[in-house]
């Protein structure tokens, strides 16, 4: 391949840009995972993670992609033939549903149009109709990465409570954790699933489960086979900072630095505000281009990515190829049902105003080069918004943060 000078713009919604400091921490010598230096680090990381999930419950770490943590959530808590209620918000929710079926569970699906989040009223109605409580878990994706739509997890909790249904509540936060406000304890979530390569600003390779007391209790009688994913051995070993098998030591060193940046140096609330602001600027650019954001409900706009509909008859695949070839900028593709219909702008992780403007400039020029009908001025609209003071931005932004 021909050398391209300058930095590659990795603006897919995960994996995201990894800060230099995190890369340097991962670059260190591999240590003895049964030695004192490792023990001290892992205790620090396990404690720090709880703040990111907003929980007092244990958070376990698997050397796996996010898909592994999906599987861990299901196999630790459920038994063969159990019914699980899944909400089809998009590609990732569908993959989780398919996994449940492959594991021998019986998924029941609330269908969706891929432009809205999970509907709390539909979940309530479905659970209320399950009078004998055959459904053992409700699974929702917090931020559907294929569509740029969030689900209101606090509202879904309330709908489960209104139906007086005892099902476990499981939430995938793989592309929202540490980018969009999330509260494992306050929202009464039983298993939260997360991954390292999106808001946590690490390379792929780690995934997480935050585990409530109720989920732990369910794991005692759950009968799906599990070994590698078993919480029991993991939580027991973690008490003293150890792992039941070799952890991804170097990624954990990176995680320690990422947690310090998120929790101590920037602060989670500021991290969320930064993501909200970049998402709003991106949507203003899309509006100025005369294009349409896929998410149909402003209360459900994602702050970690924006999916943009291509005008009828135009290919997002051809458009993204132009942008990559000419500007060394990677954008997210349209997945399954959305193939060749939307492109996705990732604006999560280690990101700032000028990186966003560079990304939007690449898109605006790409639209021109690919012959996609649009109006000029998207980058200008984003600049106008970003250059305004914080107070003016807060006042001008009626958007209710999805909760
Ligand atoms: C990325 C992603 C996944 C898949 O995670 P992998 O690390 O690729 O296994 C699942 N769910 C959501 C919401 C995601 O964004």
Residue that the structure tokens 């009908």 belong to: 373
Residues 180 and 234 in one domain: yes
% of the chain at pLDDT higher than 70: 97
Pocket probe for ligand 1: among 13, 15, 61, 92, the residue whose CB has the most ligand atoms within 8 Å is 92
Output the six-digit token pair for 301.
Answer: 């706009």
Report the pLDDT averaged over residues 283-287: 98
pLDDT band at residue 1 under the 50/70/90 scheme: confident
Q: What is the count of structural domains for the chain?
A: 2
**Domain assignment of residue 310, yes or no:** yes
**If you measure from the C-alpha of residue 144 to the centroid of ligand 1, how many angstroms do you get, rounded to a whole number?**
9
What pLDDT was estimated at residue 402? 47
Contact 67 CB / ligand 1 (< 6 Å): yes
**Domain assignment of residue 42, yes or no:** yes
Residues 255 and 282 in one domain: no
Round to whole Å and give the CA distance between 138 and 304.
24
Instruction: Answer for the pair 15, 198: CB distance below 8 angstroms, yes or no.
Output: yes
105-147 tens-digit pLDDT: 999 999 999 999 999 999 999 999 999 999 999 999 999 999 9
Give strand pairing partners of 207: 62, 195
What pLDDT was estimated at residue 38? 97
173-230 tens-digit pLDDT: 999 999 999 999 999 999 999 999 999 999 999 999 999 999 999 999 999 999 999 9
Asked if pLDDT for residue 390 goes beyond 90, the answer is no
**Residue 353, domain CATH:** 3.90.1150.10
What pLDDT was estimated at residue 398? 52
Report the pLDDT averaged over residues 250-271: 98
Cα→Cα distances 339→116, 128, 328, 342, Å: 18, 36, 21, 7
What pLDDT was estimated at residue 396? 61
What pLDDT was estimated at residue 331? 98
**Which residue, of 209, 230, 264, is where some domain finishes?**
264
Task: Select from 181, 138, 220, 173 the least CA-distant residue to 59.
Answer: 173
Query: Between 177 and 396, whose confidence is greater?
Result: 177
Residues 68 and 145 in one domain: yes
Residues 204 and 309 in one domain: no
Contact 203 CB / ligand 1 (< 6 Å): no
Eight-class DSSP state of 341: T
Residues 74 and 85 in one domain: yes
Asked if pLDDT for residue 397 goes beyond 80, the answer is no
**Domain assignment of residue 3, yes or no:** no
Q: Helices then strands (H, E): number in the chain?
A: 14, 14
First to last CA, the chain: 45
Output the six-digit token pair for 158.
Answer: 């309330």
Asked if pLDDT for residue 273 goes beyond 80, the answer is yes
pLDDT band at residue 389 under the 50/70/90 scheme: confident
Round to whole Å and give the CA distance between 146 and 402.
17
Q: Is the dihedral of CA 21, 23, 29, 35 positive or negative?
A: positive
Which residue's CA is minimally distant from atom 12 of ligand 1? 174
Residues 93 and 154 in one domain: yes
DSSP sequence for 92-131 = HHHHHHHHHHHTT-EEEEE---SSS---HHHHHHHHHT-T
**Domain assignment of residue 282, yes or no:** yes
Asked if pLDDT for residue 399 goes beyond 60, the answer is no
Average pLDDT in the chain:
96
**Which residue, of 264, 279, 296, is where some domain finishes?**
264
31-73 tens-digit pLDDT: 999 999 999 999 999 999 999 999 999 999 999 999 999 999 9
217: phi > 0 → left, psi -120 to 50 → alpha, else beta; which?
A: alpha
Sequence-distant (6+) residues with CB within 8 A of 389 are none
Residues 260 and 275 in one domain: no
Contact 175 CB / ligand 1 (< 6 Å): yes
Residues 112 and 222 in one domain: yes
Residues 237 and 367 in one domain: no
Contact 94 CB / ligand 1 (< 6 Å): no
Pocket probe for ligand 1: among 12, 14, 72, the residue whose CB has the most ligand atoms within 8 Å is 14
Residues 172 and 278 in one domain: no
Give strand pairing partners of 194: 208
**Residue 225, domain CATH:** 3.40.640.10
**Which residue, of 231, 264, 297, is where some domain finishes?**
264
**Domain assignment of residue 1, yes or no:** no
**If you measure from the C-alpha of residue 340 to the centroid of ligand 1, how many angstroms do you get, rounded to a whole number?**
20
What pLDDT was estimated at residue 3? 87
Round to whole Å and give the CA distance between 319 and 153.
34
293-315 tens-digit pLDDT: 999 999 999 999 999 999 999 99
**Domain assignment of residue 4, yes or no:** no
**If you measure from the C-alpha of residue 173 to the centroid of ligand 1, how many angstroms do you get, rounded to a whole number?**
9
% of the chain at pLDDT higher than 90: 95
Round to whole Å and give the CA distance between 186 and 122.
22
What pLDDT was estimated at residue 10? 98
**Domain assignment of residue 2, yes or no:** no
**If you measure from the C-alpha of residue 115 to the centroid of ligand 1, how many angstroms do you get, rounded to a whole number?**
18
Residues 76 and 34 in one domain: yes
Which residue's CA is minimally distant from atom 6 of ligand 1? 66
Pocket probe for ligand 1: among 65, 66, 91, 349, the residue whose CB has the most ligand atoms within 8 Å is 66
Asked if pLDDT for residue 400 goes beyond 50, the answer is no
**Domain assignment of residue 103, yes or no:** yes
Residues 68 and 213 in one domain: yes
Atom of ligand 1 nearest to the CA of 67: 9
Contact 88 CB / ligand 1 (< 6 Å): no
Q: Which domain range does residue 317 map to? A: 9-16+267-402
Cα→Cα distances 298→110, 145, 164, 173, 399, Å: 21, 16, 29, 20, 7
């Amino acid at each position: 391949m021909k050398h391209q000078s300058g930095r590659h713009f990795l603006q897919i919604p995960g994996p995201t840009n990894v800060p230099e400091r995190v890369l340097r921490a991962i670059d260190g010598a591999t240590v003895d995972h049964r030695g004192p230096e490792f023990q001290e680090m892992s205790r620090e990381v396990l404690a720090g993670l709880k703040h990111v999930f907003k929980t007092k419950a244990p958070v376990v770490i698997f050397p796996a992609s996010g898909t592994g943590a999906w599987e861990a959530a299901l196999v630790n808590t459920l038994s063969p033939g159990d019914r699980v209620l899944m909400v089809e918000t998009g590609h990732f929710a569908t993959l989780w549903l398919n996994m449940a079926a492959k594991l021998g569970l019986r998924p029941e699906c609330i269908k969706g149009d891929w432009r809205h989040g999970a509907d709390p009223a539909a979940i309530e109605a479905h659970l209320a109709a399950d009078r004998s409580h055959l459904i053992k878990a409700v699974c929702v994706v917090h931020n559907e990465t294929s569509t740029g739509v969030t689900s209101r997890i606090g509202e879904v909790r309330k709908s489960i409570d209104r139906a007086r249904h005892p099902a476990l509540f499981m939430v995938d936060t793989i592309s929202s954790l540490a980018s969009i406000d999330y509260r494992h304890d306050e929202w009464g979530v039983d298993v939260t699933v997360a991954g390292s390569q999106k808001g946590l600003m690490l390379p792929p390779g780690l995934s997480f489960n935050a585990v409530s007391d109720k989920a732990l209790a369910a794991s005692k009688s759950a009968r799906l086979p599990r070994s590698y994913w078993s919480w029991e051995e993991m939580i027991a070993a973690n008490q003293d900072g150890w792992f039941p098998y070799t952890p991804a030591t170097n990624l954990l060193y990176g995680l320690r630095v990422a947690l310090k940046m998120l929790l101590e140096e920037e602060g989670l609330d500021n991290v969320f505000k930064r993501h909200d602001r970049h998402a709003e600027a991106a949507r203003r650019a899309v509006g100025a281009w005369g294009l349409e954001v896929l998410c149909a409900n402003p209360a459900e706009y994602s702050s970690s990515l924006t999916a943009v509909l291509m005008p009828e008859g135009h290919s997002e695949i051809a458009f993204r190829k132009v942008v990559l070839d000419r500007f060394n900028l990677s954008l997210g593709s349209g997945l399954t049902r959305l193939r060749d219909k939307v492109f996705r702008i990732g604006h999560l992780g280690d990101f700032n105003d000028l990186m966003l403007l560079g990304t939007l400039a690449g898109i605006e020029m790409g639209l021109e080069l690919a012959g996609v009908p649009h109006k000029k001025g998207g980058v200008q609209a984003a600049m106008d918004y970003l250059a305004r003071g914080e107070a003016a931005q807060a006042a001008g932004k009626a958007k209710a943060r999805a909760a």
